[in-house]
Amino acid sequence: MTDPVPHRTENCLKISQVLSRIGDKWSVLIIMSLRSRTMRFSELKRGIDGISQRMLTLTLRNLERDGLVTRTVTPSIPPRVDYELTPMGHSLAEPVEALGTWAFQHIDRIAGAQARYDSEEL
């Protein structure tokens, strides 16, 4: 039998490349927002508290580059820009949502653990 560790390490590296790109919080919040429907830039900006225009533009462009989001421009006056998850984006939304649900369910326990840790450190 061969040692499984080198293989696992290689997988971990590949995975870490993807995770570091899709795992940032703005990408996660955009993907979760687009899960239910197509949205305009201004709707995304309103729905995601604290995101700057620049960061939203940048993150959407990266998601589009990754093949997770499509950007459709309707040449009206003013032009209308819609963002939508691709089928691959929808398939990513499922594990992302599971992680988001976990985070929401455990945020109070995590805060409690942190308070205990910090008081023990004194």
Where along the sequence are the contacts to a second copy (CB under 8 A)?
A: 5, 8-9, 11-20, 22-25, 28-29, 32-33, 46-50, 64-68, 88, 91-92, 94-96, 98-104, 106-107, 109-110, 112-114, 116-118
Backbone φ/ψ region at 50: left (φ over 0), alpha (ψ -120 to 50), beta = left
Minimal distance, residue 79 CB to a second copy, in Å? 19
Instruction: Write the DSSP symbol of residue 39.
Output: E
Closer to a second copy by Cβ: residue 11 or 53: 11
Minimal distance, residue 119 CB to a second copy, in Å? 11
